[in-house]
Chain A
Amino acid sequence: MTTHDVTLPSYLEQTPDVRARFRSISERPVVLRVNNLGKTFDSVKGAVQALKQVSFEVHRREFVSIIGPSGCGKSTLIRILAGLEELSAGEILLDDREVNGPGPERGMVFQGYTLFPWLTVLKNVMFGLEVSATSNGITGNTKEQEARDWIKMVGLTDFADSYPHELSGGMKQRVAIARALANRPRILLMDEPFGALDAQTRAKMQSYLLQIWKNVDVTIIFITHDLDEAIYLSDRIVVLKANPGEIQEIIEVPVEHPRSPEQFLSQEFLATKKRLEELIHPPREAEEMLPIIRMTQIGDDVY
């Protein structure tokens, strides 16, 4: 561990500003309520409990990240929220109404690239507006104008008529975000959306996302396995543990808003990161040695 324990405050300590912010968030209406959610998969090796007794709420315009070790059920959870997977127990309420199956009020950005390759960027962003039943009254022109506005928001005006294969990975994910937001979803679900991007592009995308979130009335649930990313972006972080996937802790991030990359070295940031590391990599497990046999020639010792 690189941080010096002595100098760090507790991650639970909040400045008055931060505390006031959390109080105001908690006073906002609850957009998403997850109650005792459970999920079992029937696999060849018998039933696998992927999620157990998961409960949390998300308030309007809140940014909540979900982190946890690989295989703890993060993707399963967000897919259930999106309606792409059925739940085995519990309930999900969006604006106090039970959700059932996928719908345009829950937008999703996937880790892989899921733009429709046969549509231009503009048509991709218009897709939701054209298919959803609620927007039948809107004329084609307004739809196009709206789509162009979203494309402008993610900074891709010049690429409106390009096809997905002409875009870089980061640009594709920006289009995917615009496409999901164009539907005006109540909640935006993101499953490791920047996971496939290189570090630099990723940092850029994070600041894009913060800007978008600031300007758009949307609530975000964001999955990542990158601790820095989770802290940098979120109001709160839901930490899951594996086998079965259960909530370990829900952390209120004590880092002040507005966020900027300089805060990566602030006391609160490091304190939160330390706590997350404790939760996700318990010290005992970290020391476990792999059963690796020696596979090098004698005489070329480098260590």
Chain B
Amino acid sequence: MARTRYFIIWKELDHGRRRVLQVFSFIIPLLLWSIISYCPLVWHPMVIVSDPGDIAHFKVDSMIKKEAFYRENAKAVEQHRKPAQGVPANPVYLPAPHEVAASFYKAFVTPPRLPDEPWLHQSLWHSITVILWGFLISSVVAVPLGILCGTYRFFAYLTEPFVEFFRYLPAPAFAALAVAVLGIYDGPKVAIIVIGTFFQQVLMIANTTQRLDPALLEAAQTLGARGIKLFSRVVIPGILPDVYRDMRILLGWAWTYLIVAEVVGNSTGITWFINQQAKYRIYDNVYAAIIMIGIIGLTTDLALAWIGSQLFTWKSKKKSVLSRLSAAYAASSRVKPKLSQEAP
């Protein structure tokens, strides 16, 4: 049967269909946004005045609530004055897709209003460094601790109850404290990210470590591995791909703490940019910046996923690009000597 069904529990779809659906996951929200933005009949609660007529307080290009516009016009007609003309519009906080698209470019090339303010790409880069430092500091302690907790009951009982407790304390609650201790620059921001990431990270990594197949440990023991060798040759390689996957998820969570972290002390980074643009009511730039965060997050994750599939080929069951290249190279170099042998 050529037509296969879409709705079968746990049934993977073929490559083409998968791609189409994945593209649609972006097209559908974009379509909704476009309908709201470009169909004057849908929503459009405002009117932009194109000709103020005889109404004194209307001006060309000013945006007025629809009811107010019609009320004033009715009043004008009643008093035999010329009514105003206008086109339906959405409020400023919902720009149309093409406006946001344009501001993607504009936002990057528009110089900051004040000479000592950062450009957009500088703000973005600042945000990225805050995240990376926070995530790095957290990981350096949490990953080894989590692996120890998952491996040795001793460490699990010694740390997990407290970690479990601390996990419930919202990271932003430490904002004031972080500023008092670490000053107003990047210190407290990094600290918030660390606090938000660390405790989840310990528990997640510990849990992942515990899920290692115990039969592998037993097999290794009957082969003579014990103590540190059991740890370094079975536990670590066995959990590595899953730890890597956990790190990808945690890095995503770290981004969610960013917006809170960046308003701590003096506001910086992408959050500063967003707040600044909102203050000037340039909402296209606000959207562009928010979407920018999403794009950075998604591309990082896709890149990490790809790197992971190359690193852990035994898990993904695919050959890595590197091994395919080396196989191709080996094949081509195998052919050559044969030819040269036949030549003489």
Instruction: Name A residues whose Cβ lies closer than 8 Å to a Cβ of B.
Output: 82-84, 101-104, 106-108, 110, 112, 114, 116-119, 127-128, 130-134, 163-165, 176, 179-180, 183, 189
Is A128 in contact with B314, judged by CB distance below 8 angstroms?
A: no
> Given known contacts A82-B222, A189-B222, what 16 new A-B pairs fall within 8 Å (CB)?
A84-B218, A84-B222, A102-B222, A107-B223, A108-B222, A112-B215, A116-B216, A116-B219, A116-B238, A118-B240, A127-B225, A131-B220, A132-B225, A164-B314, A176-B219, A179-B223
What number of residue pairs across chains A and B have CB atoms under 8 A from each other? 78
Given contacts A110-B218, A114-B215, A116-B216, whether A103 and B237 have CB atoms under 8 Å apart is: no
Q: Does B293 touch A at the CB level, under 8 Å?
A: no
Q: What are 24 A-B contacts with C-beta separation under 8 Å?
A: A82-B218, A84-B218, A101-B221, A106-B222, A108-B218, A108-B219, A110-B219, A114-B213, A114-B218, A114-B219, A116-B238, A117-B315, A118-B312, A119-B314, A128-B223, A128-B224, A132-B223, A132-B224, A133-B224, A163-B313, A165-B314, A165-B317, A183-B224, A189-B222
B97 → A minimal CB distance (Å): 45
Is B237 in contact with A118, judged by CB distance below 8 angstroms?
A: yes
Q: Does B229 touch A at the CB level, under 8 Å?
A: yes
Most chain B C-beta atoms within 10 Å of own C-beta, residue among A106, A114, A134, A179: A114
Q: Does B233 touch A at the CB level, under 8 Å?
A: yes
* Size category of the binding interface on chain B: 20 to 34
Is A114 in contact with B216, judged by CB distance below 8 angstroms?
A: yes
Is B223 in contact with A110, judged by CB distance below 8 angstroms?
A: no
In chain B, what residue has the closest Cβ to A82? B222
| CB neighbours of B218 from chain A (8 A) | 82, 84, 102, 108, 110, 114
Is A116 in contact with B225, judged by CB distance below 8 angstroms?
A: no
| CB neighbours of A114 from chain B (8 A) | 213, 215-216, 218-219
Q: Does B234 touch A at the CB level, under 8 Å?
A: yes
In chain B, what residue has the closest Cβ to A164? B314
A112 vs B222: C-alpha distance when bound (angstroms): 15
In chain B, what residue has the closest Cβ to A108? B222
B214 → A minimal CB distance (Å): 10
| CB neighbours of B225 from chain A (8 A) | 127, 131-132
Most chain B C-beta atoms within 10 Å of own C-beta, residue among A102, A132, A134, A165: A102
| CB neighbours of A189 from chain B (8 A) | 222
A135 → B minimal CB distance (Å): 9
A104 vs B223: C-alpha distance when bound (angstroms): 5
A183 vs B220: C-alpha distance when bound (angstroms): 12
| CB neighbours of B215 from chain A (8 A) | 110, 112, 114
Is A131 in contact with B229, judged by CB distance below 8 angstroms?
A: yes
In chain A, what residue has the closest Cβ to B234? A116
Is B221 in contact with A127, judged by CB distance below 8 angstroms?
A: no
Interface residues of B in 304-326 (CB under 8 A from A): 312-315, 317
Is B233 in contact with A131, judged by CB distance below 8 angstroms?
A: yes
Is B222 in contact with A104, judged by CB distance below 8 angstroms?
A: yes
Given contacts A116-B234, A116-B238, A127-B233, whether A104 and B224 have CB atoms under 8 Å apart is: yes
B233 → A minimal CB distance (Å): 6
B227 → A minimal CB distance (Å): 10
A84 vs B226: C-alpha distance when bound (angstroms): 12
B208 → A minimal CB distance (Å): 15
